A and B are shown apart, each in its own frame.
Chain A
Amino acid sequence: MTTRRDFLKYTTGGICALKLGLPLEALARIVAVDNPLQGYPDRAWEDFYRREFTVTLGDAKGFAFHCSNCQGNCAFRIYAKDGMVTREEQLAQYPQIAMDIPDANPRGCNKGTIHSQAMYEKDRLLYPQKREGARGAGKWTRISWDQAIAEISEKVVDTLAQHGPGSLMVYCGTGILSQGRRAGPLRLGSLLGSTRLYPSSAVGDMFTGATLAYGIPNVGTSLDAWFEMDYIVLWSFNPNVTRIPDAHYLWEAKWRGAKIVVITPDYNPTAIHADQWISINPGSDCFLAMSLVHVVLKEKLYKEAFIREQTDLPFLVRLDNRKLLRASDLLPEAKAAPARKAGEEAKEGEPEVKENNDEIFYVWDRTTQRAVAAPGTRGNKRSTLRLGKIDPALKGRFTVKDKNGKSVKVTTVFELVAQEAAKFAPEKTQKHTGIHPSLVRRLAHEYSRAHDPGLTIGFSLHKYAWGILTNWAQALFCALTGHDVVDTEHQWSLGGIGALSTPKPARFESGFLGEWLSGKMWETFHKHYDDAREFQRRAGLSPDDLVKLAERSRDEKWMANFGEPKARILFADNIFRRNKSSEHYKKSVLDATELYVNVNFRMDSSAELADYVLPAISHYEGWDIRGEVGYHRFVNLTVPPPGLKPVGETKSEWEICRLFAEKIEAVATKRGMAKLTDPAFTVKVDDKDVPVTRDLDTLHKDYTMDGKLNTDKDVVKWLIENVPAFQPWKFEDAVERGFIILNTNAGLTSPLYANKPYRSFEQQFYLRRPYPTLSGRQTFYIDHEVFLRLGAAVPTARESLHPAKFPLKFYSPHTRWGIHSTWRSNKYMLRLQRGAPHVNLSLADAAARGIRDGDTVRIFNDVGEFTAMAKLLPGVRPGTLMMDHAWEPHQFRKRVGMDAPVAGLLSPLELAGGWGHLKFGAEWDGNQLAYESTVDVAKTEGGNHV
C-alpha cells in the first residue's frame, strides 16, 4: 500500500495537484513524468491520431477536379473508404514548366477542399421527384427513373409535335463547364435541334470590348505570365478571391520587383497586398480608361510603328458621313480580282478582292501620297499585315475621288480617336471617377514605360452598362503604348469536340437577349430608369428606343433568338438564382414554361421550382475531363475511386441523356414521328441546300455514336483520342496520372510553348497574320449605325446609368465562399461567414441610417426588395452597397433573393450586329447587366433576421 509520503515521492504532479486543490486520489496510479519538455514515457497513445489519418486515406483512390463555373480547373486526389469519399486533397503534382517560373502547385481552393462533405449533405437529390401541388410548394412524390423518363419523354414529344424543335430548350448551364459532362446535354440538344443559350452571355461574362478590338472576347495570357511581368494592373478584379489557385503568381511577381496596381471601388482583399490601390466610383471606369488614352496621346507616349501596322488607326474615314472609306466608295462595282497571268502579282495598293468591296479599307500612303488599300482586311486577298512599301499616315486630312468623280474629304481613325480622347483630361474626369489626376498621369506613364506590363480585368467590368466602352478604351491604351493586349481570361481552343457535342445544327441563341425577353425585363427596366430625359442624356437614346433596339436586334438577327421555349430541361443551371429582376423574371418564365425539368445534384433554388427533378452525379462520382481553362495548361480528369458507391439513384448526365434519347425515340416512333424536318437549318448535300431533319427514329443510335459511347467513361476516352491538343497522351496515361498537358496546338493565336507561359497574338505581332476582325487589325473604329448614333464609333466614355433617385450604387462582386451558388449554402462555408446573407455597408452610410453591424436591414428600390444582415465594412466606398454574390434565394426571408431589386438593362452597343466581326456567335454576344441599379437600405423590424 503506497503511503502518502511514497506517493509524493513518485509524482511531482502531486505538488501541482495540492496547489490546485485537487484530491490526490485523482492522480493515483499514474506514472510520473520527469520533464515533459524533454521526453515522455509512454507514447503508444500517439497511434490514436495515426489511425485517424490512415482512415482518411481510405482503401481506394481516385482523381477529380470540380467542373463548375470556376475557371480554376484544379487536380485533386480523392480518397474513399468502404465506397464513400472520406477526403480530398490537391494533387499538387503539376510539373514546373521552367526553372525560373514557380510551379502551379497546389492548385485548389476552400470550396474544392470541402466537396467531400457537401456531396453527402442533406440537400443532395437522391432520386427522381415529381412535384405535387404548385411549383415551389415543396411537395414532392418520389418516382422511379423509368416513370420520370417516360413521362418527360411523352411531354417532350408532345411539345415537338405541336410546336416544333425550337419549343424545347435543352440547356447545360455554367454549373458544368467540363468537356466530358457537358457533352451529353449538348449532344442530345443538338440532335433534337433544341434551343440553348450562350451561357457566358446569360451571366454577363462576355468581354465585348475585347471583341470590338480583337475579334475575340477571351484573350490574354496564362496566369503564370504574371510572374514575368514588371507592372501589373488589376482593374475591377479581385484575384485573391476569384483566382485563388493563381493569385500566388502575383505576390511572387511582387517579390521579384513587379509593381502591382489594383483599381476597384472597394478596398478588396487583393488591394491589401498591392503597391497601389486606386479607388474608383463604380460605373465610371470608362472615364478612367479614356483619361489614360488622353495622357498617352497628349504626351506622345504612343508607339507609332506598332499602331501603324497592328491597328486600324491609320484607316481613312469619310468626313461627310463618318463611315470608313471602302473600295465600294471608290470602285465602280464589286468585282473579283482581275485575271492575271501566272506569277503576276497585283500592283502595289491595288485591292485583291475576296468577295466584296465593302470589306476593303484604305490608308494614306505618305510615300506615294495617295489612298491605298490596306492589306490584311477581311475583304483583301492579301492576307497579311505586312505593309511592304506602304507608309500609312497617322495624322492629316486628305482628299480622294469617289467612283462618281466627286471629291471626298477623309481623315484617319487616329485623328478621330484623338479628337474624342481630348475631351477626357484627368482633371475633367475626376468628377466622374473620384480619382485625383496625379494618379491617372502616373499610371499612364508607368504603364507606358514598363518593360512587360499587364492589364488584367475580371468578369465584373462588363456588368456595368459601359463595360464595353471601358474594355475597348483599355485595348486602345494597350495598343497605343505598344504593349500587348488587355488580358480578358483567355481560353484554349480545343478542336475535335464538334463531332461529339454538336453533331447537328442547334438553336444557339443570345444569352443576354434571351433572358431579357424570357423575363420580360423591359418592365423592370422602365420602372427603374423612368427619367427618360436623364437616361437619354447619359445613354444616347431613350428608354423606349433601347427596348425597340432590342426588338430590332432580334428581328434583324443581329442577335439570335428562337422565341420562348415551352419546355425546359436544365442541367446544372440555377436559372432562378442568376437572373436579375429575380421575382419578375421568375414569374414570366414559369408562366410561359409548360414543362420544367431540373437535373441537378442538389435541391437548389431552381430545383425547388421544377416539375421534375432528376438527381445527377456530383464532382467525384463519374468520369470527366476538362482542358479549356486558359489560366494554365493542364487537362484534369475525374476518375472515381474504384468501388465508390453511387449516391442514392444519381446518374451521370451522359446516362440521363441516353435514357431520354432512348425513350424519346420509342415514343416518337410509336406516334409515327420518325423524322422531323427542320427547315430553320439547311446543309449542303451534293451541292444542294437540304433542310436538316431531326431523326427521332435513330435518336438513340445517333446519340451513342452507333453504340460507341454508352458511358461517361467512353466519352472521356473519346475526347482524349480525338482532341488534337491532347495528343500524344493516351487514355491509360491520363488515368494513371490524373491529368495530361496540352500541346502547342491549344493556343488560339500563339503556340503554347512547353517551357514558357502563354501569350496571345504572337501570330499577329510576329508573323503579321491578320486579327479575326473586319479590319484585320486591332479595331478602334466601328461605323455600325448604332455606334455612330451613340457617338461611339471610336472609344469614348459615357456616364453610368445609375438612377439618382436611390442613393446607393448596388454591385455584387464574386464571393470567395462559393463558385456562384455551388457550395454557397454549404454549412462549412457558412460557418466561416455569418451563416446567412449579409450586405456590406460603408461606415458612413450605416451611421447616417443608424444601422449597426449585425442589424437586420431591408435593401429596396422601385423594382424589389430583400432582407439581409448588415455588415459594416470600412473598405466599402460611401455611396455604394456591396454584397458578395450568389446567395441562394432560398436563404433569404420569403425566398426573395438579392437580385430582386436589380432592374433589367441592356447595353445598347451590345445589341448591334451584322457588321464585320460583330456577328452573333461565341465571339460576339452581350451581357446581362448587374451593377447599374441603385437602392437604399434601412433597418427593419424583427431584430436579427436569423
Chain B
Amino acid sequence: MSRRQIAMVMDLNKCIGCQTCTTACKTQWTNRDGREYMYWNNVETHPGNGYPSRWEESGGGGFDDAGNLKPGRIPDLHRDYGAPFELNYDEALGCVTVDKHSSSSDNERPELKPVVPPVNGPNWDEDQGAGEYPNNYYFYLPRICNHCTNPACLAACPRQAIYKREEDGIVLIDQERCRGYQHCIAACPYKKIYFNPVTKKSEKCIFCYPRIEQGLATACAQQCVGRIRFIGYLDDVDGPIHKLVEKWKVALPLHAEYNTQPNVYYVPPLSPPKYDAQGRITGERRIPDAFLIGLLGPRVPEVLKLLEQEREKKRRGKESELMDLLIAYRHEEMFKLDADYYRKPGAPQPPAAAAAPPPGGRSRRVIPIVAFNKKESLEDKLDNLEVAAGNYAGETT
C-alpha cells in the first residue's frame, strides 16, 4: 500500500459524452511520438464494445479470487484499437493529378477521407447502446487508468518496471526500465496500457502527475465540461472523494471482480422510464439494473435509490449534503489536491521540475462589476440587434 492514494470519482449522471476530456488528454500527452492511437482517457458508450473493442469480454487479465494473475490478450491495432488514420489531404484538396489507375472514368479527385479505411475506432459504436426503440438505452462511461491498489500490470512486469508512488499511489511505468515486453498490457483487465511502437515501451495514463505536483487537476478532470469528475485523496475526510466513496458510498468501482482494487469510482446513472406497448410511460427505468450491476457491482440498486431519495429531499427544499456534493457549485472545489505535500518537512522531494505557470489555475479572482446603466430604450436596443445582423440602424427613407 502506498502511504496515500489519490482517486477520482465520476458522476455518470452528468456525463454528456462530449469527449472534451478525451481531446484534453490527447493534446496534453498522446498526439505525438507513437502515442497517436492511444487514448489514455477514452469515453465509451455502454452497452457497447468499448475501447479497445470488447475489452470486457475478451481482454482477459486481472486476478482470480485466489490472487493469481489470469492470462490476458494483447489487443490488435486495427481491429481493436482502430488505427489513427491520416486523411488524404494532398490527393483530395491539392492540385489535380491525372490518375491512370483511377476507377473513375473522368479522373475526378477523390473525396477527403482516411488514407486507410478504418474498420474500427475508439468510439465506433457511439450512441448505439442496446434495446429496441422506444425503450433502447445507453449512457457514457469515461475511463482512465484506475491506478489500482493491487495492479495486475505491476505484478506481471518481469522487470518490475511498474510501481506505485508512495505519496499518492499513482501507478507509473518507468520509461527507462521498461523493455516493452507487454506482459502488463496482457495483464491489465481494463486494457489501459498501450504499447508505443516508436519507443518500444509500454505507456499509459500517468494521472497527469506533473500537473498534480503543481496543485492542478488532471487534464481530463480540469477540462471536463460536464463537471463530472472529482479528484482527491481517499483518506482526506473533508474531501469529495472520501465523502462520495466512504461516507455516502455512492461511488462504485468498475468491475471489482477483476480484483485489482481500482481507484476510479463511478456514481451509477439513472435513466428515463420505459414505454409500454400502448405508448404510456411506465415506472421502470430503462437501463436494466442487471446491466449496471455487471459493471459496478451489487450495490447499484441501493445507490440509485439513495440518489433518488436525496434528490427528492432537495426538491422539497430540504438539505442534502450528497446532492450539494454532486452539484458541485464551484468547479475548483471538485479537485482537492495537496500541492503543499512536497513542501512538508520530511516529505520526499520530487526531482526538480521546471517552474511553470499553471494553466487555468486559481491565481486570480475576477471581481464582478455591479451596475452601469446607460439609458437605452427598447427601440435603441432592438436597433443594436439590427446592427448585429448586418443591417443599418440609422435613419433612412
Contact = CB atoms under 8 A, between A and B. Distances in A.
B68 interface: no
A66 to B, nearest CB: 13
Nearest to A248: B227
A186 to B, nearest CB: 6
Given A77-B359, A276-B272, A836 B114 contact: yes
A435 B350 CA distance: 62
B123 A832 contact: yes
A155 interface: no
B394 to A, nearest CB: 7
B139 A737 contact: no
A833 B19 CA distance: 11
A892 B226 CA distance: 33
Contact of B329 (A56, A102, A199): A102
A240 B388 contact: no
A103 B382 contact: no
B360 A93 contact: yes
A828 B94 CA distance: 20
Contacts of B271: 272-273
A190 interface: yes
A537 interface: no
A834 B121 contact: yes
Nearest to A498: B387
Nearest to B36: A831
Nearest to B316: A257
Contacts of B166: 38-39
A255 B360 contact: no
Interface string A1-39: 000000000001100110010100011001011001111
B113 A505 contact: no
Contacts of A339: none
Interface string A100-143: 11110111111001101100011100000000000001111000
Contact of A89 (B84, B113, B176, B359): B359
B134 A279 contact: yes
Nearest to A39: B166
A748 B31 contact: no
B395 A683 contact: yes
A266 to B, nearest CB: 9
Nearest to B383: A498
Contact of A769 (B90, B222, B378): B378
A728 B176 CA distance: 55
A835 B78 CA distance: 13
Contacts of B87: 122, 825, 827, 830
A95 B113 contact: no
Given A39-B166, A103-B329, A438 B280 contact: yes
Contacts of A737: 364, 366
B92 A890 contact: yes
Interface in B167-185: 172, 174-177, 179, 181, 183
A38 B164 contact: yes
B165 A40 contact: yes
A895 B17 contact: no
A79 interface: yes
A199 B389 contact: yes
A673 interface: no
A737 B363 CA distance: 11
Contact of B330 (A102, A681, A816, A871): A102
A684 B397 CA distance: 8
Contact of B227 (A102, A186, A922): A102
A139 B385 contact: no
B341 to A, nearest CB: 15
Contacts of A255: 13, 311, 314, 323, 326-327
Contacts of A37: 1-2, 150, 154, 163-164
A44 B331 contact: no
A741 B314 contact: no
Most chain A Cβ neighbours within 10 Å, of B109, B112, B139, B164 = B112
B372 A728 contact: yes
Interface string A824-864: 01011011111110000011100000000000000000000
Interface string A38-53: 1110011111111111
A44 B174 CA distance: 10
A946 B113 contact: yes
B16 interface: yes
Interface in A392-435: 434-435
B389 A603 contact: no
Contact of B16 (A107, A247, A830): A247
A743 B360 contact: no
Interface stretch (B52-60, B125-133, B188-196, B240-248): B125-133
B311 A257 contact: yes
Contact of A502 (B118, B269, B273, B393): B393
Given A251-B226, A877-B133, A47 B351 contact: yes
B279 A436 contact: yes
A373 B369 CA distance: 43
B354 A139 contact: no
Interface in B189-241: 206, 208-211, 213, 219, 222-227
Contacts of B102: none
Interface stretch (A488-496, A588-596, A617-625): A488-496
A20 B159 CA distance: 11
Contacts of A90: 222-223, 225, 360
10 contacts: A89-B219, A240-B18, A272-B138, A502-B390, A506-B392, A682-B397, A749-B381, A828-B31, A890-B111, A891-B111
Given A37-B163, A90-B223, 13 more contacts: A46-B172, A48-B176, A52-B29, A87-B27, A102-B328, A109-B225, A117-B27, A276-B273, A435-B279, A683-B397, A748-B378, A748-B381, A890-B112
Counting from the closest, the 7 A-B pairs by CB-CB distance are A257-B315, A946-B117, A874-B136, A36-B163, A122-B89, A922-B389, A240-B16
Interface of B: 1-2, 13-14, 16-20, 22-24, 26-29, 31, 82, 84-87, 89-90, 92-96, 108-109, 111-114, 117-118, 121-124, 126-134, 136-139, 150, 154, 158-160, 162-166, 172, 174-177, 179, 181, 183, 206, 208-211, 213, 219, 222-227, 269-273, 275, 278-281, 311-316, 323, 326-332, 350-354, 356-357, 359-360, 364-374, 376, 378-397
